[in-house]
């Protein structure tokens, strides 16, 4: 006889599955303006509670309130909204193009536009992002050519990456956008190394690491936190918690920890949670974290609380694992609508101007798409040559590869 | 016999083993509720409960590492790495741990695990969803490596792998999941239902690890292939009219050298094809074995047709993939040599 019952394995489950009623009552959302804004040189030990709250600026009435508000002018906010609208329109057009067979694959940002668009605005020239596949707002808001982006998506004759990479795996050093791997979490620790190099070189540039909720389970995430903490690297460690890793809900990666932000606390890294659907809050927190890095105060971990409103990719159908109406029930709303309402409340915007902006943006995106398609799409028109496939494996092509290229007859 | 796709055959193998043996557990990324991104585990969680089939965190080293621990306890985990391209974080666990537990503990601890991974290209997956890393496993002492090419083999070999007392890498050519593919990407897709090897026995049955299959008998030359390339080789033989004997290796380690050597001694010529890159690929091992064992029967150099030594490109997929035209050329050249 044993005094103990049998052990049982705990496997976390999301609150609701398809057929159920979406329920986010477990997501505790503090009032906008309720979370204090500490000085950037604050003792990390004294702000541990910021890892368990949500910094919010926009309230339900569309007003910007509290200590994290007041950083952006009307013009800057309108520009920010246009970036988000452009990204959303870009995504919509590329999704249709994928369905039309013009490319093999696509990944959209629906609902997450504020995060990469607002973060980009807080960076300075020369800073480097190590993004995942859902931060194209860094490029859109950074002024990267939409035609170039589309040429990459189409793998056509003007693809800056010569057809080598899967669609959306962009790369632009000039725009502070490190080449996307496609494998998960590998780049998180590289961002820390880039930031360490900036410090070693007595530079002033900082790095930004990006990861999703699911991929924080990878060893590379934890390695990144160790190195960032040990060397006080000038890096912002971003976690985009959009609730779903393909079909796997965030609880599988989070485990028993209260939040993803709380992962930073054991490393002594200041760790903040922010409303990822609130452009003003994202900008304010990004600015704070980037300022810390720039002032040699070390790393900051930021968890963006958001929701992946669309499918993981064009290869995914979320209705198989979550209620169809779950995104409507998401309590933090839509980032574009929230910023639009705020601008209207400020008297800086109107429904008419919004409609007009939508039409203008659509025209711009369509014009870019027409130009990109004139250089070909994946299966039609101009395409990278088979010869391009052999270039760039090494700086100088070794003899064995030269022989293979000859064999290939290209 | 029921007809199955490769996905259904793989699922059926796990189903049969989970029903027979409580020690068999199945987990991986998106494997539980959803049933896997390729649907190979669909329905298993509902049938066997979520402590025997469950979702894992996105941590390949964690998935393989915990499976090794479970095996040390006495379970038989059959785990999924979502794409073979994602296995690298787990490589230390596979190479330094799974492969060596038996050896370094003198048999006190063993590692009866199966690591399933979709492998190979042909789906426009780019560099991170198209690789064929089999040589990274065959190079490691202590691992067995299996590459099935059809539903019948997939089921028989997977059950054998789950019952095997040592770690088995089970590479599933993803382009074959829903039908045989001979490299003619511009032609309509053939479903498995039209292929005789989609007839799969119900219930428990096994195929031995280490036994190749002669899929086409011939006298002119021997073609060694596995996975998707089995169909490409058949197309190349048909299109060149060369009377090739095509051998589907089915398992790379252990390797059926007897069947290979008997065939090459008969034909006097040998072409090796694989999708993976050329240099230090498994084809190099095969070519070396053929010359060691059949040197005095060879009438031509052993030829290799493989993927080029570049990362797997996106747009140039069909320039990279060793399709029937390239394989056919090698067959003709080997005949003329």
Among candidate residues B198, B231, B257, the one where a domain is terminated: B198
| C-alpha to C-alpha distance for A279 and A293, rounded to whole angstroms | 21
How does pLDDT run across A97-124, given as a tens digit for each residue? 999 999 999 999 999 999 999 999 999 9
| Sign of the CA dihedral with A82 first, then A85, A90, and A93 last | negative
Other beta carbons within 10 Å of B239: 15
**B194 and B217: one domain?**
no
B91 touches chain A (CB under 8 A): no
Nearest CA in chain A to B28: A248
B86 part of a folded domain = yes
CA B231 to chain centre: 14
User: What is the radius of gyration, based on Cα positions, of chain B?
Assistant: 19
Residue B267 and residue B222 in contact, taking contact as beta carbons nearer than 8 Å: yes
Mean predicted confidence (pLDDT) in B57-85: 97
Instruction: Examine the domain organization and report whether A396 and A339 are in the same domain.
Output: no
C-beta of residue B151 within 8 angstroms of C-beta of residue B4: yes
Contact (Cβ atoms closer than 8 angstroms) between residue B119 and residue B145: no
DSSP single-letter state for residue A203: -
Average pLDDT, chain B: 97
For residue A332, what are its two tokens?
């933090």
Q: B295, B263 in Cβ contact below 8 A?
A: no
The pLDDT confidence band at residue A26, using thresholds 50, 70 and 90, is: confident
A224: which 2 tokens? 């990144």
What pLDDT score was predicted for residue A27?
Answer: 87
**Is B173 part of a structural domain of the chain?**
yes
Q: Which residue intervals of A304-350 are DSSP H helices?
A: 326-329, 335-345
Q: At which residue do the structure tokens 């500490």 appear?
A: A38
Within the 276-305 window of chain B, which residues sit less than 8 Å (CB to CB) from chain A? 278-279
Distance of CA A354 to the CA centre of its chain: 25
- Cα angle A20-A25-A29, degrees, rounded to a multiple of 5: 145
B301 within some domain: yes
Residues A198 and A331 in one domain: yes
ipTM for the predicted complex: 0.91
Q: Does residue A160 form part of some domain?
A: yes
Dig out the tokens for A93 from the structure. 């057009």
Domain identity same for A262 and A392: no
Q: Supply the CATH number for residue A174's domain.
A: 3.40.50.970
Beta bridge partner(s), residue A241: A305
Cβ proximity of A290 and A39 under 8 Å: no
Within A295-350, residue ranges assigned H as helices are: 326-329, 335-345
Q: Give the mean model confidence (pLDDT) for residues B59-69.
A: 97
Residues B163 and B248 in one domain: no
Examine residue B250 and state whether it is found in any structural domain, yes or no.
yes
Number of Cβ within 10 Å of residue B12's Cβ equals 21
B contacts of A315 (beta carbons < 8 Å): 37
| Domain match, B42 and B110 both | yes
Contact residues, chain A, for B311 at CB < 8 Å? 164, 393
Instruction: Inform me whether the C-beta atom of residue B22 falls under 8 Å from chain A C-beta atoms.
Output: no
B85: contact with A, CB 8 A cutoff: yes
- Whether residues A120 and A263 share a domain: the answer is yes
Q: Are residues A268 and A393 in the same domain?
A: no
B292: pLDDT strictly greater than 90: yes
* Rounded (10°) CA dihedral A62, A64, A65, A69: 160
- Encoding tokens for residue B13? 């193998």
Rounded to an integer, the average pLDDT of B204-232 is: 98
Q: What per-residue string of b and e applies to A259-285 under the rule 16 or more CB within 10 Å gives b?
A: bbbbbbbebbbbbbbbbbbbbbbbbbb
Do B176 and B264 belong to one domain? no
Does residue A15 fall inside a structural domain? no
Statement to judge: residues A262 and A301 lie in one domain: yes
- Residue B277 makes CB contacts below 8 A (sequence gap 6+) with B306, B307, B308, B309, B310
Residue B205 lies in a domain: no
Asked if the structure places residue B204 within a domain, the reply is: no
- The sign of the CA dihedral B263, B267, B269, B270 is negative
Within-domain flag for B208: no
Instruction: For residue A257, name the pLDDT band (cuts at 50, 70, 90).
Output: confident
Which residues constitute the domain of residue B329?
213-336
Domain match, B139 and B253 both: no
How many domains does the structure of chain B reveal?
Answer: 2
Clarify whether residues A79 and A209 are in a common domain. Answer: yes
- Shared-domain flag, residues A307 and A388: no
Angle subtended at Cα B271 by Cα B265 and Cα B276, rounded to the nearest 5 degrees: 135
Same domain, B237 and B189: no
End-to-end C-alpha distance for chain A, whole angstroms: 76
Q: Does A46 fall in a domain?
A: no
**Residue of A176, A264, A178 whose CA lies nearest to A216:** A264
Q: B278: which 2 tokens?
A: 């050329």
Q: What is the mean pLDDT of residues A194-203?
A: 97
The residue of chain A nearest to residue B306, with distances taken between CA atoms, is A404
Asked if residue A22 is part of any domain, the answer here is: no
Range of the domain at A405: 382-410
Give the span between the Cα atoms of B329 and A389, in whole angstroms.
Answer: 21
Q: Count up the domains in chain A and report the number.
A: 2
> Is the same domain home to B193 and B306?
no
- Asked if the model's pLDDT at residue B141 lies above 90, the reply is yes
In this structure, the answer to whether residues A296 and A397 fall within a common structural domain is no
Residue B185 sits in the same domain as residue B246: no
CB contact under 8 A, A219 and B57: no
Extract the tokens encoding A388. 């391009």
Residues constituting chain B: 337
pLDDT band of residue A1 (cuts 50, 70, 90) is low
What whole-number distance in Å separates Cα of residue A147 and Cα of residue A125? 22
The answer to whether residue A57 sits within a structural domain is no
Q: Helix A146-154 crosses helix A351-374 at what angle (to 10 degrees)?
A: 50
Based on the fold, state whether residues A210 and A295 are members of the same structural domain.
Answer: yes
Backbone angles phi, psi at B115, to 5 degrees: -110, 105
**What is the nearest CA distance from B336 to chain A, expressed in angstroms?**
17
Asked if the C-beta of B314 comes within 8 angstroms of chain A's C-beta atoms, the answer is yes
Tally Cβ neighbours within 10 Å of residue A392. Answer: 13
**Domain boundary residue, one of B168, B198, B228:** B198
| B104 and B221, same domain (yes or no) | no
- Do the Cβ atoms of B58 and A218 come within 8 Å? yes
Boundary residue ending a domain (B198, B228, B244): B198
pLDDT at B158: 98
The chain B residue lying nearest A394, using CA atoms, is B310
Range with lowest mean pLDDT among A16-25, A141-150, B47-56, B138-147: A16-25
Chain B residues touching A15 at Cβ < 8 A: none
CB < 8 Å to A385, chain B: 316
Cross-chain residue pair A159–B315, CB shorter than 8 Å: yes
Rounded Cα distance between A119 and A210, Å, is: 11
Residue B227 shares a structural domain with residue B320: yes
Is A308 part of any domain? yes
Looking at every residue in chain A, the average pLDDT score rounds to: 97
**CATH assignment of the domain containing B311:** 3.40.50.920
Number of Cβ pairs < 8 A linking chain A and chain B: 131
B58, B131, B133, best to mutate vs chain A, most A CBs in 10 Å: B58
Looking at residue A7, the DSSP 8-state letter turns out to be P
Whether residue B89 sits in one domain with residue B145: yes
Q: Are residues B61 and B193 in the same domain?
A: yes
Nearest to A166 among B86, B89, B126 (CB): B126
Q: State the Cα–Cα distance between residues A229 and A381, nearest whole angstrom.
A: 50
Known catalytic residues of B?
129
Residue A118 lies in a domain: yes
SS3 for chain B, per residue?
Answer: CCECCHHHHHHHHHHHHHHHCCCEEEEECCCCCCCCCCCCCCCHHHHHCCCCEEECCCCHHHHHHHHHHHHHHCCEEEEECCCHHHCHHHHHHHHHHHCCHHHHCCCCCCCCCEEEEEECCCCCCHHHCCCCCHHHHHCCCCCEEECCCCHHHHHHHHHHHHHCCCCEEEEEEHHHCCCCCCCCCCCCCCCHHHCHHHECCCCCCCCCCCCCEEEECCCCEEEEECCCHHHHHHHHHHHHCCCEEEEECCEEECCCHHHHHHHHHHHCCEEEEEEEECCCCHHHHHHHHHHHHHHHHCCCCCEEEEECCCCCCCCCHHHHCCCHHHHHHHHHHHHHC
Cα distance from A202 to chain B (closest Cα, Å)? 33
Q: How confident is the model at residue A2 (pLDDT cuts 50, 70, 90)?
A: confident
Same-domain pairing of A344 and A403:
no
Residue A235 lies in a domain: yes
B245, β-bridge pairs: B222
- The answer to whether residues A343 and A74 touch, using CB atoms and an 8 Å cutoff, is yes
Given a cut of 70, whether residue A288 has pLDDT beyond it is yes
Parallel, antiparallel, or unpaired for β B244-248 and B213-216? antiparallel
Residues A371 and A387 reside in one and the same domain: no
**Residue A352 CA neighbour count, 13 Å, CB half:** 1
Longest dimension (CA), chain A: 78
CA of B204, closest CA in chain A: separation in Å? Answer: 28
Closest partner residue to A390 among B58, B88, B310, by Cβ?
Answer: B310
What is the CATH classification number for the domain harbouring B39? 3.40.50.970
Mutate to test the interface with A, among B59, B315, B323 (most CBs of A within 10 A): B315
């Amino acid at each position: 006889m044993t005094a103990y019952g049998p052990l049982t394995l705990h496997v976390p489950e999301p609150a609701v599955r398809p057929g159920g009623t979406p329920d986010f009552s477990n997501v505790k959302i503090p009032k906008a303006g309720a979370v204090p804004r500490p000085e950037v040189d604050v003792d990390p030990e004294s702000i541990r509670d910021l890892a368990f709250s949500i910094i919010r600026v926009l309230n339900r009435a569309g007003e910007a309130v509290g200590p994290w508000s007041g950083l952006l002018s009307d013009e800057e906010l309108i520009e920010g909204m246009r970036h988000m609208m452009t990204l959303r329109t870009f995504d919509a057009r590329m999704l249709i193009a994928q369905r039309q067979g013009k490319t093999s694959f696509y990944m959209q940002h629906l609902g997450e536009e504020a995060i990469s668009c607002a973060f980009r605005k807080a960076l300075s020239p020369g800073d480097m992002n190590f993004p995942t596949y859902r931060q194209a707002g860094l490029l859109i808001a950074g002024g990267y050519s939409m035609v170039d982006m589309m040429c990459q998506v189409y793998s056509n004759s003007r693809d800056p990456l010569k057809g080598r990479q899967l669609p959306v795996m962009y790369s632009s050093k000039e725009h502070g956008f490190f080449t996307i791997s496609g494998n998960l979490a590998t780049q998180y620790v590289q961002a820390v190394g880039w930031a360490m190099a900036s410090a070693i070189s007595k530079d002033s540039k900082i790095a930004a690491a990006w990861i999703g909720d699911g991929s924080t389970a990878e060893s590379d995430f934890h390695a990144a936190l160790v190195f960032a903490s040990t060397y006080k690297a000038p890096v912002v460690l971003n976690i985009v918690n959009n609730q779903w890793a393909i079909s796997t809900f965030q609880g599988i990666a989070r485990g028993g920890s209260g939040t993803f932000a709380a992962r930073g606390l054991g490393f002594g890294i200041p760790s903040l949670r922010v409303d990822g659907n609130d452009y003003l809050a994202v900008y304010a927190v990004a600015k704070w974290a980037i300022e810390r890095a720039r002032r040699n105060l070390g790393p900051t971990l930021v968890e963006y609380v958001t929701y992946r409103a669309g499918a993981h990719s064009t290869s995914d159908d979320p209705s198989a694992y979550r209620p169809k109406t779950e995104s409507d029930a998401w309590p933090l709303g839509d980032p574009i609508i929230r910023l639009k309402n705020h601008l209207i409340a400020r008297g800086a915007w109107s429904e008419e101007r919004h409609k007009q902006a939508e039409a203008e943006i659509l025209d711009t995106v369509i014009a870019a798409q027409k130009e990109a398609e004139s250089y070909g799409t994946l299966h039609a028109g101009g395409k990278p040559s088979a010869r391009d496939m052999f270039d760039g494996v090494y700086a100088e092509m070794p003899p064995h590869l030269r022989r293979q290229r000859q064999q290939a007859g290209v | 016999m029921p007809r199955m796709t490769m996905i259904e055959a793989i699922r059926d193998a796990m189903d049969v083993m989970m029903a027979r043996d409580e020690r068999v557990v199945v987990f991986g990324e998106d494997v539980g509720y959803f049933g896997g991104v390729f649907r190979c585990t669909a329905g298993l969680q509902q049938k066997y409960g979520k402590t025997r089939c469950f979702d894992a965190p996105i941590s390949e080293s964690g998935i393989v590492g915990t499976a090794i621990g479970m095996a040390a306890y006495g379970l038989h985990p059959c785990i999924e790495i979502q794409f073979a391209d994602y296995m690298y974080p787990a490589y230390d666990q596979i190479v330094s741990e799974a492969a060596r537990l038996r050896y370094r503990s003198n048999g006190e601890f063993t590692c009866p695990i199966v690591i399933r991974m979709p492998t190979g290209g042909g789906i426009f997956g780019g560099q991170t969803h198209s690789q064929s890393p089999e040589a990274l496993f065959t190079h490691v002492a202590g691992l067995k490596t299996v590459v099935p090419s059809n539903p019948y083999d997939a089921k028989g070999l997977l059950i054998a792998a789950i019952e095997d007392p040592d770690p088995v890498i089970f590479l599933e050519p993803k382009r074959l999941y829903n039908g045989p593919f001979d490299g003619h990407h511009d032609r309509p897709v053939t479903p498995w239902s039209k292929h005789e090897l989609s007839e799969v026995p119900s219930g428990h049955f096994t195929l031995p690890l280490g036994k190749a299959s002669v899929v086409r008998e011939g006298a002119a030359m021997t073609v060694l292939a596995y996975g998707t390339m089995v169909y490409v080789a058949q197309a190349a033989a048909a299109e060149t009219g060369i009377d090739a004997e095509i051998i589907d290796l089915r398992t790379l380690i252990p390797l059926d050298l007897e069947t290979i050597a008997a065939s090459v001694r008969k034909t006097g010529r040998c072409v090796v094809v694989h999708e993976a890159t050329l240099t230090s690929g498994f084809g190099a091992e095969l070519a070396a074995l053929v010359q060691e064992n059949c040197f005095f029967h060879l009438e031509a150099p052993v030829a290799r047709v493989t993927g080029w030594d570049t990362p797997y490109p996106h747009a140039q997929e069909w320039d990279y993939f060793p399709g029937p035209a390239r394989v056919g050329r090698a067959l003709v050249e080997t005949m003329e040599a």
